Amino acid sequence: MEKNKIVTLQEPIDSGFDGASTAAEVIKGIDLSGKVAIVTGGYAGIGLETTRVLSHAGATVIVPARDTEKATRALTGIARVEISPLDLMDPLAVDAFADKFLASERPLHILINNAGTMANPFTLDKRGYESQFATNHLGHFQLTVRLWPALRRANGARVVALSSWGHRYSPVVFEDLHFQQRAYDRWLAYGQSKTANVLFAVELDRRGREEGIRAFAVHPGSIADTDLKRYMSQEELQKAGVFDQDGKLILDPSRQIKTIEQGAATSVWCAVSPQLEGMGGVYCENCDISPVTTEDKTRGGNDVSKRAPAKAFGVFPYAIDPAAAARLWELSEELTGVRL
């Protein structure tokens, strides 16, 4: 019955926004004065734009940064921003960041788990875990659970997990999370980590809703002009259809090939929109809740320029399955040693 309930909630609400909407547009008229937000990776790409619009709306934004010098340069001139060291691949660094924030005794109204890595070569974190799963999921899992007292203190908090349409590449392979029994495939690893982001939001919302903590997973779109492409060659980017033969960026929000301002819109919408009041545990794209799908309707494979225009690509059932979400949560507790 609970599974059916989750699927029923996973339906578009016709928000009035679309793939071309920007973060500044979806936050227009919303006053975040006195609110506190944390945006991981909030000093580059869509994370930087997210930090900018939250600050402009009045929020104090804490930006955890692996490279604090780069963060300082990027965030200069943005009001109410605090920078604090954090490496999601290092559990001690995650604990240190959380301890510092909790010591301030501030509430945490918005947590946007935006940082991530994509399609990198096979590497392990300090615990011996596959790096994409460790960075994109486990690091953020540990951070969120450690910050739970501050989320409760907000008396109404939202957690946004940056996932991707790339979740279609792979479910979470519980029997071989770290590619110890199969050949490493960087896209399967990325897909697994992005599915984990969705499942995390599903179970987090179930556990937090009675305490006023709601969670959402987000597909921001294909935004090529960010650091996320660092492990892709120019040839791969051209083959993917996001750059032309002259190296010029291709943009088409109807196919979810977006600008940075458009790419930040859905996570900001999930973090602040009154349209989502009383809702959570859903996967969103183009500033709306996504429909459930069982097939890749983009019909373009990895070449985004060949995608058919679509209001939404959808979310695969295995990414919102509550049984898998609960299993992943329990396994993540074991892998990180962190529990509510």
Find the catalytic residue in 190, 231, 283, 318: 190
Structure-block tokens of residue 82 = 């605090």
Residue 47 φ/ψ, nearest 5 degrees: -65, -40
Structure-block tokens of residue 268 = 């900001």
Active site residue 283: no
Closest C-alpha among 141, 57, 163 to residue 340? 141
Angle between helices 322-336 and 2-9 (to 10 degrees): 100
Q: What is the helix, strand, coil percentage profile of the chain, to 5? A: 45, 15, 40
Strand order in the sheet with 36-39: 81-85, 60-65, 36-39, 110-113, 157-162, 213-219, 282-285, 288-289
**Kind and range of the H or E element at 158?**
strand 157-162
Please tell me whether residue 60 adopts helix, strand or coil conformation: strand
Residue 221: partners with Cβ closer than 8 Å, 6 or more residues away: 19, 253, 256, 257, 258, 262, 263, 266, 285, 286
Partners of 284 in beta bridges: 218, 289
With contact defined as beta carbons under 8 Å apart, do 121 and 231 qualify? Answer: yes
Please tell me whether residue 69 adopts helix, strand or coil conformation: helix
How many residues make up the chain in this entry?
340
Which amino acid, 109?
H
Place of tokens 């009041």: 277
Please tell me whether residue 154 adopts helix, strand or coil conformation: coil
With contact defined as beta carbons under 8 Å apart, do 162 and 135 qualify? Answer: no
| Spatial separation of the C-alpha atoms in residues 237 and 259, rounded to whole Å | 16
Catalytically annotated residues: 190
